[in-house]
A and B are shown apart, each in its own frame.
Chain A
Amino acid sequence: EPEVTQTPSHQVTQMGQEVILRCVPISNHLYFYWYRQILGQKVEFLVSFYNNEISEKSEIFDDQFSVERPDGSNFTLKIRSTKLEDSAMYFCASERESAGNEQFFGPGTRLTVL
């Protein structure tokens, strides 16, 4: 069964460093998402991406964040200068088409900022 994959599973970085989190969505899906979950808290929407551009973003997704689909398979989230409060689990999700189809989530990348 097709699934969303994410790498790395765990990333440790120093405050101020740039990180890139990678996702490979399900191959025939058209909509891509990033969410984050701070330990023990709820899942929060960051950004949605369709047709090579951002569809919607939350207030968390400030100019330190960017997303890219550099080729036909990968979908990346970049944090330019990490802060301690960026420590969280980051989930990528993909969806075949909008309007009611379910989003399938990847296994997540645990980001730890020291």
Chain B
Amino acid sequence: ELKVEQNPLFLSMQEGKNYTIYCNYSTTSDRLYWYRQDPGKSLESLFVLLSNGAVKQEGRLMASLDTKARLSTLHITAAVHDLSATYFCAVDASPQKLVFGQGTRLTINP
């Protein structure tokens, strides 16, 4: 059974700093997704990573995928308050089923 683990689960950081969220998964998969969720809201798609070595960037966020290590990272550069949210990674357990990590609750303080 596929397990997806995120680290850390809670992250409080200062504006302007850099940090990385890690997502490990237990069985082979070539597809990984990052979502953002604001409190009480739905899941907003951030990145779709479809192959080993894939790297995608949008603004201050950059995601990468290493399928051999079964690891994805979400890197935050020069954090701003607007990035405060919960971030989920999700992995295809089969073509039609996503398994989510526990989520990383990110708080960015001025």
Contacts and interface: CB of A to CB of B under 8 A. Distances in A.
Nearest to A103: B98
A48 B93 CA distance: 12
A50 interface: yes
Q: Contact residue range for chain B?
A: 20 to 34
Contacts of B30: 100
A46 B96 CA distance: 11
B98 A42 contact: no
Interface stretch (A12-20, A68-76, A77-85, A104-112): A104-112
Contacts of B94: 56
B96 A50 contact: yes
Interface in B70-110: 88, 90, 92-103
A55 B33 contact: no
A45 B50 contact: no
Q: Contact residue range for chain A?
A: 20 to 34
B100 A106 contact: no
Nearest to B44: A105
Contacts of B102: 41-42
B45 interface: yes
B99 A107 contact: no
A60 interface: no
B100 A42 contact: yes
Interface of A: 31, 33, 35, 41-45, 48, 50, 55-56, 58, 91, 98-108
